[in-house]
């Protein structure tokens, strides 16, 4: 999904070709970057947001978390 988003941004806005993600050209190269990614882990509250189709959890829940009410 991330690679497809990069391709759409590049196709829809040619100046983005100068952006660092323009170097991501091949699925295997992109996948390797994701497969070797190590998430930063610190002892603080965190929320995971899925943006594949909108926002899950929703924006109200995200804002509540950010504002310390979640």
Q: Dihedral, CA atoms, 17, 24, 39, 52, nearest 10 degrees?
A: 80
The first and second tokens of residue 47, run together, are: 């929320």
Q: Give the per-residue pLDDT at 1.
A: 76
**33 and 48 co-located in one domain:** no
Domain count, the chain: 2
pLDDT tens digits along 13-57 = 777 666 665 555 666 676 777 778 788 889 999 999 999 889 999
Residues 6 and 29 grouped into a single domain: yes
- The reported pTM is 0.51
Would you say residue 4 has pLDDT above 70?
Answer: yes
**Structural domain range at position 12:** 1-37
50 with 65, same domain?
yes
What was the pLDDT predicted at 61? 96
Domain match, 32 and 50 both? no
Residue 64 burial (10 A CB sphere; 0-12, 13-18, 19+): middle
Whole-number Å distance between alpha carbons of 67 and 61: 10
């Amino acid at each position: 999904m991330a690679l497809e988003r990069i391709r759409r941004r590049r196709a829809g806005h040619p100046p983005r070709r100068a952006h660092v993600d323009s170097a991501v050209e091949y699925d295997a190269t992109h996948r390797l970057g994701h497969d070797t990614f190590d998430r930063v882990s610190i002892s603080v509250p965190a929320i995971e947001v899925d943006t594949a189709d909108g926002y899950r959890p929703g924006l109200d829940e995200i804002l509540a978390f950010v504002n310390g009410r979640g």
